[in-house]
Structure 1
């Protein structure tokens, strides 16, 4: 999976990769050439007192060193550009893929996991690319070239290489094999820590209100300890790697000096050759260390690449149509024809055999007990989910045959939980309509009963909005969310329990003001308060995912026991009458 991800995502950077490989090759050749020149200086210049030879060879060494430095700098620069570009491209693809997911896929992965996959996981693979281009290219060249040059300098000591290099490779391979399972578990534990931390931050008011700080601290401590234990276990193996490599390296150096000294004493070897052989041995072992450092990152990067690929390879359940049908003059009529819906893995469907039509210029209200499927039903219109049975139509066309952008452009939705983006009031309203004028924004705020509190702010439309709108009250957030939907003047307006945080007086004023901007729109309202929907043109009563009543407030009071029960639970006998 890692190789597949690298092969596909690095394809645009092939010219840079070729240049990096060439420069690293030239830089490594220069490093391999330097010990040979140094050995000649010792054996030919110093031993014979040839000062001219020393100056010439020293100048050559200096030129080769400068060339090696220049090649290394350019190679590292292009390697960094490639790695950073790779990370940018993968993050963008993950972000776009997550943006195409329906609510089903988001729930399948979970928000904390998707955040980790788009940040930490991408960073791990990006670091592998950077280290691979700076180390992995030169390491095998240096190892192979060092072995050849060392044997060329002194064949009698080459048996040391046959012992040292395999011993180092076997030791490193064993340690890495013990680290791989730990890295796999670690990424999952990071997801858990992120999830708990995110829950505690977003739910801080609930935690404090119920005095749950000790329990939440304990819950986080358990998740944090689980992550720490895995990281510590993996870290122990990682910590043994470099001391082991250094031990083998130092033993090899001692062996070279010991056996080399005997060969020099016997006249079978020159001091310069011993120096060069030692330099080549160090280069070989350094290349193994570089490869080791690189290979330490491979297991974790492989796990991260698998998690990234899982996101990129997941197709959204809500797919754009192959042959989209255009709407010439959209009216916004919404009809449900024997619609059913079941969540993946659920035993029973949430919705069953839902049939009704919501027409332009009318308000259709949906009521029912908690868990009756009200929000799920309205989510089928903008295709946040796709119906698993039956058909949802807009202007007589199956929503699955409409271009997604066209469908979404027709729809304005105010979700059950009002959410505002960080920025300003203006930028949030422009989410509904990017080119909305100030007059259009103030008109939407006026209908949503938000004009007064926005004008009271010193900055007005440019007043800052914290992430999630936490610097506003719940009622203010709801009114801003309603204004955001109204500013685009949608053909289909869906209000999913959007008045729950409003007081009765504000609720009434808003309902009276809505018709001036929704006279030609299909309005679908999900509400808990009967007072909010008693004037609706038709009311759909849901019970256990089925339609048990359809009509006006007055007709349902006569022939729908479920609606009668809902009304009696909220209104007095006088109010019902």
Structure 2
């Protein structure tokens, strides 16, 4: 865990104060048995009531003082632990923001969620217990043993033997606990993955009547996780009885040996009471230490999993701009771009070249799997190309920071995703300082204003996660409104009109023309009716450009485009 903690700053004043408070608390804890021995030897046995009352008063003050210090130390340790866990989560999230789509696939969404929640919770809880139960142990043990030796070295030796057995026992059991802890976290990842998949795919599961099959898969994940926990609990089940056995044997040995010493007149009753209390305090703290130590392997596993994320080098790294950016007419160019997904057998795009100019619409069409959507994802830098260049105003996009690049782009993805909140919140996601008038204007252009106004709460209507309380067409229009509200140099619509009927599609495209007249517009679609009016159409086939031109030109020069057109348009439309 130390490797993880090196990545974070700790409040040194608070940490130092915690150490001092814990030290004072342990002094008070060990001082009480000494006072007990003093009361018995010099007060009770001698019948000195005044001495008993005076020393008893000191004991009460010491106990109250120690209790107050215990409360303060718990507050400080909780504060340190919760602050650190907050910083860990923040750093995981910040680093995740820099990861590419491929990087996310490397970890999986469910695993990242587990690392950011369960793993951090495990570290936080262990750290809190560490401050309270581990830090005092060396001082308690050393000073307690010294005080015990000052009373009787033979009985102190019994306590030393018990402590040594404790340490050996923990060393033997730790290896097994570490191995099981690793398996538990992996099992938790699998459960989260299955639950997320079930929830997100519930409609498909029910449509194909696969509830029973999914339940079997879930039960397998739950059973495997439970089996590992049972094994771990079996290990813990051995720990506590063994600890109690050591404590009881130690206490009996001290009592027996102490009785012999008292009968011989070599030891006072108060001293044996003090030694027994020292033994109990030392062993209790060792027991608490054991509880923490058997959790440390699991916390260490969690810290390694978190470090794996924090130390992971993102696929796409920001670079400084090395060329001057022209303020002239904006242009986007793909120059001999080749791209393949990780572990793919062949490239998705092969030597793709075309130019998009501002004030014009470039449409991209092709069969499923031809690489249309991939082009849309490459422009904002969601993936890094293997060969070629993507240029904006003559500058290679790899020399832009990801923030600056994406500030220039408005992107409407193929999957219309909405965030949990209100309609206003979702549209404003494209422009944080957007006014309500700007939001309504964007919604009107996206042909969403009519259905929004029919809702009881209008623009303040609730949107569930993913927008599941809206139809596919409504979700697309809200996402288009979110795209339009942002002032951008480049607008990308990745099959964003697919769920709209032809009439709404036509109205929307006509309505957004004034908004986009000075920008680069890229429309990716499978419907020819959506792109017929584009200034240029790029036709893709198996990752290669099969043709570039206007609708009329491609009908004459590109057989692939003609085939697509014949499958979608009437003879009259083809002639036109």
Bin the TM-score by the shorter chain: over 0.9
Q: How far did residue 325 of structure 1 move?
A: 5.8
| Residue equivalent to 1:202 | 200
Contact 1:332 1:410 in 2 (8 A): no
Q: Does 1:393 align with 2:391?
A: yes
| CA–CA distance in structure 1, aligned partners of residues 511 and 425 of structure 2 | 24
| Residue equivalent to 2:26 | 28
| Residue equivalent to 2:344 | 346
| Residue equivalent to 2:511 | 513
| Residue equivalent to 1:268 | 266
| CA–CA distance in structure 2, aligned partners of residues 323 and 454 of structure 1 | 43
| Among candidates 296, 313, 316, match of residue 314 of structure 2 | 316
| Residue equivalent to 1:292 | 290
Specify the SS of the correspondent of 2:218.
helix
| CA–CA distance in structure 1, aligned partners of residues 419 and 323 of structure 2 | 33
What pairs with 1:119-158 in structure 2 (closer than 5 Å)?
A: 119-158=117-156
| Residue equivalent to 2:94 | 96
| Residue equivalent to 1:166 | 164
Specify the SS of the correspondent of 1:353.
strand
Contact 2:326 2:393 in 1 (8 A): no
| Residue equivalent to 1:217 | 215
Q: How far did residue 70 of structure 1 move?
A: 2.0
| Residue equivalent to 1:372 | 370
Contact 2:10 2:84 in 1 (8 A): no
Q: How far did residue 72 of structure 1 move?
A: 1.4
| Residue equivalent to 1:257 | 255
| CA–CA distance in structure 2, aligned partners of residues 470 and 438 of structure 1 | 24
| CA–CA distance in structure 2, aligned partners of residues 298 and 433 of structure 1 | 45
Specify the SS of the correspondent of 1:17.
helix
| Residue equivalent to 2:113 | 115
| Among candidates 68, 71, 75, match of residue 73 of structure 2 | 75
Q: Supply the RMSD in Å over aligned alpha carbons.
A: 1.6
| Among candidates 275, 299, 302, match of residue 300 of structure 2 | 302
Q: How far did residue 395 of structure 1 move?
A: 1.2
| Among candidates 50, 53, 57, match of residue 52 of structure 1 | 50
Q: Deviations over 1:106-141 (max 9, x none)?
A: 121111111111111111111111111111111221
| Residue equivalent to 1:556 | 554
| Residue equivalent to 1:531 | 529
Evaluate the alpha carbon distance shift between residue 454 and residue 330 of structure 1 in structure 2; reply closer, same or farther with a 3 A threshold.
farther
| Residue equivalent to 2:2 | 3
| CA–CA distance in structure 1, aligned partners of residues 440 and 329 of structure 2 | 26
| CA–CA distance in structure 1, aligned partners of residues 36 and 116 of structure 2 | 50
| Residue equivalent to 2:432 | 434
Contact 2:325 2:394 in 1 (8 A): no
Q: Deviations over 1:170-195 (max 9, x none)?
A: 12222222111111011111111111
Q: How far did residue 12 of structure 1 move?
A: 3.0
Specify the SS of the correspondent of 1:12.
coil
| CA–CA distance in structure 2, aligned partners of residues 285 and 320 of structure 1 | 55
Q: Deviations over 1:396-417 (max 9, x none)?
A: 1111222333322221100000
Q: How far did residue 66 of structure 1 move?
A: 2.0
Q: How far did residue 490 of structure 1 move?
A: 2.1
Evaluate the alpha carbon distance shift between residue 323 and residue 510 of structure 1 in structure 2; reply closer, same or farther with a 3 A threshold.
closer
Q: How far did residue 375 of structure 1 move?
A: 1.2
Larger deviation, residues 486-495 vs 168-177: 168-177
Evaluate the alpha carbon distance shift between residue 309 and residue 331 of structure 1 in structure 2; reply closer, same or farther with a 3 A threshold.
farther
> How many correspondences in the alignment?
575
Specify the SS of the correspondent of 2:346.
coil
Q: How far did residue 331 of structure 1 move?
A: 4.9
Q: How far did residue 355 of structure 1 move?
A: 0.4
Q: How far did residue 259 of structure 1 move?
A: 1.7
Q: Deviations over 1:422-444 (max 9, x none)?
A: 11111111111122222222221
| CA–CA distance in structure 2, aligned partners of residues 548 and 66 of structure 1 | 85
Q: How far did residue 239 of structure 1 move?
A: 2.1
| CA–CA distance in structure 2, aligned partners of residues 343 and 570 of structure 1 | 31
Specify the SS of the correspondent of 2:10.
helix
Evaluate the alpha carbon distance shift between residue 118 and residue 31 of structure 1 in structure 2; reply closer, same or farther with a 3 A threshold.
same
| Residue equivalent to 1:453 | 451
What pairs with 1:464-543 in structure 2 (closer than 5 Å)?
A: 464-543=462-541
| CA–CA distance in structure 1, aligned partners of residues 436 and 66 of structure 2 | 62
Q: Deviations over 1:1-54 (max 9, x none)?
A: x11212432x33111111101110111011111111111111111111122221
| Residue equivalent to 1:544 | 542
Q: How far did residue 518 of structure 1 move?
A: 0.9
| CA–CA distance in structure 1, aligned partners of residues 203 and 322 of structure 2 | 46
Q: Deviations over 1:433-473 (max 9, x none)?
A: 12222222222111111111011112222111111111111
Q: Deviations over 1:227-280 (max 9, x none)?
A: 111111111112221111111111111111122212211222211111111111
Larger deviation, residues 560-569 vs 359-368: 560-569
Where structure 1 has 5 or more consecutive residues not aligned to the other structure, the ranges are: none
Larger deviation, residues 50-59 vs 219-228: 50-59
Q: Does 1:363 align with 2:361?
A: yes
Specify the SS of the correspondent of 1:249.
helix
Q: How far did residue 486 of structure 1 move?
A: 0.5
Contact 1:27 1:71 in 2 (8 A): yes
Relative to the length of structure 2, the TM-score reads: 0.97
Specify the SS of the correspondent of 2:547.
strand
| Residue equivalent to 2:245 | 247
Q: How far did residue 519 of structure 1 move?
A: 1.0
Contact 1:361 1:518 in 2 (8 A): yes
Contact 1:419 1:469 in 2 (8 A): yes
Contact 2:77 2:128 in 1 (8 A): yes
| CA–CA distance in structure 2, aligned partners of residues 346 and 437 of structure 1 | 45
